[in-house]
Amino acid sequence: MRRITQAVLRRRSGGPGLVSRLAPVVESSQRVPAAADLTLLGAGAGDALPSLHSVRSAFQIETNGEILYRLCIALIERKLVREDLWLASGKIPIVFARNAIHTMVDRMCGAAFENNLQYGLEICDTSEPSYGSDERADPGSLLAMFELQTAGFVVIGEALNALNEEEQFLGAAFYIVLTDALRSWMPVYDHRTAEWYNEQLGDMMADDDPENRESYEFPDVEKAVPPEVKEVDGWPLFAARRLLRKHLRGEFAGWIERLFRIVCLSRLHKDMASVENNYDAAAVPSLLIAFRENDAIHACWDEEAAHYYESSYEPTCTVRFRPEYPEEFDTALRTAFLFLKVNMELAQLVNLLNNWEEKHASRHQHRTEPALRAA
């Protein structure tokens, strides 16, 4: 079966946004002109060439085509796209499905992800099997997978300082609540992740030969984390959220309101399929949060990011569904739209915080340059 792949969060220039993974049979409208049934090579040549007028001049092989048709029907029945798109797509199912995905994503996201987080959306009938395994998706089902293409990057130190000036621990509460809410949808690279990297590096050094141990370098994550963050990290989450609610009408209400929208979305029901056994490692973090540019958290990320994409990493979000079952299809759509909505809110919040950092940090640099691009 062929793939439907959509560059979801940024339209690439110079090429199609989708690569098909569901290919129907298409009969070409252009055929080789009919010839006489027997055409002599020349007078007295003897042998003759048969006519090719009954042979199709172009075709594509279809695999599991019924699933593709059911997907197209489900998209129209739920009025997710206009029926005239079928005619505009030449009545070719794979073209229609590709155009439908373009239309739906563009209508929802617009330019929300420009110069920020970027994902690719792939719809296929199978996930990659794990080594030594013949595992496949359930017969007749599809997998919609969001795969990270560019990670987000936010330097949050100056924003935390501004919040802490409003009230002690307010900035730390903002940071802790944000990272906790995002983790229900995606991996995040923060001070906890950097600490875990140092622990793993320490284990590797302990197992290495003594003469090699001096070459190990450990970024000082402990020193990079503000004392207020260490304090609030031990609080119950409801206490941090209660502190933030006190300032919903303050100077930084826009930041806090967007944060609480992410918190609300993180609590909604989602039905993500588990495909972790089919990949070498867990998903790559979607967002790097550093307190200062080039601080210890940033340094740990740089060390780990150098090895990203050397292995097979699982998608950030995966949903499984059968198009002909309305409940499954609607649940899959809801989860996919929630995932996009969370990332749209996050992208806008990242822009707000990075703009603040640019205006108030001692080094004025553009902070929305992507920190990780797919190889």
Beta carbons of 148 and 286 less than 8 angstroms apart: yes
| Per-residue confidence (pLDDT) for residue 364, from 0 to 100 | 41
Q: What is the number of other CB atoms lying within 10 angstroms of the CB of residue 245?
A: 10
Say if residue 165's pLDDT is above 70. Answer: yes
| Per-residue confidence (pLDDT) for residue 154, from 0 to 100 | 95
| Per-residue confidence (pLDDT) for residue 63, from 0 to 100 | 57
3-class secondary-structure state, position 359: helix
| Per-residue confidence (pLDDT) for residue 211, from 0 to 100 | 82
Range from 48-62, 134-148, 156-170, 298-312 carrying the lowest mean pLDDT: 48-62
Range from 19-28, 171-180, 334-343 carrying the lowest mean pLDDT: 19-28
Q: Work out the percent of the chain whose per-residue pLDDT is above 90.
A: 46
- pLDDT-derived band at 83 (thresholds 50, 70, 90) equals confident
What is the distance between the alpha carbons of residues 357 and 161, in angstroms, rounded to a whole number?
10
Range from 68-72, 238-242, 276-280, 351-355 carrying the lowest mean pLDDT: 276-280
Contacts of 45 (CB under 8 A, 6+ apart): none
| Per-residue confidence (pLDDT) for residue 332, from 0 to 100 | 93
Range from 35-44, 116-125, 222-231 carrying the lowest mean pLDDT: 35-44
| Per-residue confidence (pLDDT) for residue 262, from 0 to 100 | 97
What is the distance between the alpha carbons of residues 202 and 319, in angstroms, rounded to a whole number?
37
| Per-residue confidence (pLDDT) for residue 339, from 0 to 100 | 96
Say if residue 12's pLDDT is above 90. Answer: no
Closest CA to 67 of 323, 366, 342: 323
Amino acid at 228: E
| Per-residue confidence (pLDDT) for residue 17, from 0 to 100 | 34
Say if residue 53's pLDDT is above 90. Answer: no
| Per-residue confidence (pLDDT) for residue 92, from 0 to 100 | 84
Name the CA radius of gyration of the chain, rounded: 27
What is the distance between the alpha carbons of residues 132 and 310, in angstroms, rounded to a whole number?
20
The one-character DSSP state at 90 is T
| Per-residue confidence (pLDDT) for residue 64, from 0 to 100 | 64
Mean pLDDT for the chain overall: 80
In this structure, is the dihedral angle defined by the CA atoms of residues 257, 258, 259 and 260, taken in order, positive or negative?
positive
What is the distance between the alpha carbons of residues 21 and 97, in angstroms, rounded to a whole number?
11
| pLDDT tens profile 244-271 | 999 999 999 999 999 999 999 999 998 9
- pLDDT-derived band at 232 (thresholds 50, 70, 90) equals very high
| Per-residue confidence (pLDDT) for residue 208, from 0 to 100 | 83
More reliable by pLDDT, 20 or 153 = 153
Q: Work out the percent of the chain whose per-residue pLDDT is above 70.
A: 75
Span 278-293, mean pLDDT? 92
Q: At what angle do helices 326-360 and 157-166 cross, to 10 degrees?
A: 80
The tokens 């499954």 sit on which residue?
Answer: 328
Sketch the domain layout of the chain as residue ranges: 151-315+324-373
What is the distance between the alpha carbons of residues 184 and 267, in angstroms, rounded to a whole number?
8
Amino acid at 5: T
3-class secondary-structure state, position 214: helix
| pLDDT tens profile 354-373 | 999 999 875 444 443 434 44
| Per-residue confidence (pLDDT) for residue 348, from 0 to 100 | 94
